[in-house]
Amino acid sequence: MAISLPLALAAALLLIGINELGYERSASAVKGIAAAQDTRNALNKLLQQMLDAETGLRGYLLTGDERYLEPYNTAVNEVNQTLDGLRTFYLSDGGNLVPVTMLSRHVSRKLAEMDLSLKLRKQGNEEAWRFVMRTDVGKEHMDAIRDQSATLIRENSIQVSASEQQIMHSLQVSRLGIAITAAIGLIAFYLYLQQSNALKLAVLREQLVLERERDRLEDLVRDRTASLAKLATYLQQVRENERAHLARELHDELGALLTAAKLDVARIKSRLGDNAPEATQRLQHLTETLNSGIALKRRIVEDLRPSSLSNLGLLPALEILTREFAQRADLEINTEFDEVDLPAAAQLTLYRMVQEALTNISKYAQAQQVNVLLQNMGSHVVLQVNDDGNGFNPQEVGASSHGLDGMRHRVEAEGGRLHVDSALGQGTRITATLPSLPPVHQTITEAAVSPAAASQT
């Protein structure tokens, strides 16, 4: 301890000193690189402005259309600002202003030449401005501007290279200092290990025993949890299959019977005509009863297996679900849905979650208003159902709360998370987060699901 502690302190002080020195030099070099980049951007901007001015002027000279003067006037007004910015960059950096002055002269000559052509064109002197345009004066001025800008860019690149070399030198110094510091630290650490080796060996042996036991228990719990999750998923799938089978039976068999009965009643009613008003009235009542039965059958089938989800998609299915529930429960339901890309199983999960949440609200919440929100966050989808009802304490929910457990299992089976936020008298908010479907997997999933959706339809 008498040797290792001073060595560690010396290594720490050395590392701090090296880092501070490297930081100061690197920060200075980074500032130089940033200034050089600003200068290069200004030069490129100046070239673009001159090109825009020349292009706009040529368009006006050839067509006489005043609209071509808009880019010309804009570029001319901005050229002086760009040149002032270049002078400011070079003055702040302590650079030579001679190249910038030469560039300004070339720019002024080019602007004077373009201004002369513009005045001649506005005065109607066709031969003069055409003569000026056909000469090489404008090209020579632009070539001079490009050459001078290229010279400045090369000088700028040399400054950037020097700053980069300064950064590399600082990194090399820091690397060497860190290596020396690490060596000193290793020596100090080795000395410390020698002094406490016996104690650490005993602690390690005990820790190994505890880790093995912990790993064994974790593996056991993981296996049991996975088995239970698979069983729950299987039972959930069996339940959905049974619902789909029962929905098909009700739709095909009961639907056919009710429709046939309704047709028979209509046929009998048409044959009676107006001769038996009492029988006609009873037949009308029977028709209304059959219509109610058909509507009840349709609602039961939709609750068992929503055909709107398979035929129309998630968003229309949720719209239909919330609208019909609002009518039955006499509630105000506000919806806001984004377009989402989810596999069929995840869409069914979100649909069942909204269905179960609305059922719980109608049974227990005594709410007046419900909000259903579906948001597309890019990499994931968030579904939120909240109400202004009685609320409850999530910590006091007993083992009989199969609805919440079922929702949680459905969401987690699809790789998502479910969060329930509620308090007494403050309503309830249920939030589910599911991963979105990547574009490549979306195509594969749609191809795999389409036959099943077609058979259900």
pLDDT tens for the 457 residues of the chain, in order: 557 667 677 777 877 877 777 777 777 777 777 777 777 787 888 888 788 887 887 787 777 777 877 887 888 888 878 887 777 777 766 666 777 778 788 888 878 888 877 788 777 777 777 776 667 667 777 777 788 778 878 777 787 787 778 788 877 777 777 778 777 777 877 776 777 787 788 888 899 999 999 998 998 888 887 777 677 667 767 766 777 667 677 767 777 787 888 788 787 877 776 777 777 788 788 888 888 888 787 778 767 767 778 788 889 989 988 998 898 888 899 999 999 988 888 888 998 889 889 988 988 888 899 999 999 998 999 999 999 988 888 877 755 566 788 888 888 888 899 999 998 888 999 999 999 866 544 443 444 433 333 333 3
Report pLDDT for 452: 39
Torsion (CA) 116, 121, 122, 125 in degrees, nearest 10: 100
With CA atoms as reference, report the closest residue to 352 among 405, 312, 394, 311.
405
Distance, CA of 416 to CA of 244 (rounded, Å): 24
Report pLDDT for 203: 87
Q: Report the alpha-carbon angle 440-444-447, nearest 5.
A: 140
3-state class of 457 per DSSP? coil
Report pLDDT for 339: 92
Report pLDDT for 338: 92
Report pLDDT for 441: 43
3-state class of 431 per DSSP? strand
Sheet holding 428-435, edge to edge: 332-337, 369-376, 380-387, 428-435, 417-422
Residues 437 and 445 sit within 8 Å (Cβ to Cβ): yes
Positive/negative CA dihedral, 141, 147, 150, 156: negative
Report pLDDT for 384: 94
Residues 236 and 409 sit within 8 Å (Cβ to Cβ): yes
Report pLDDT for 136: 66
Q: What are phi and psi of 298, to 5 degrees?
A: -65, -40
pTM score: 0.41
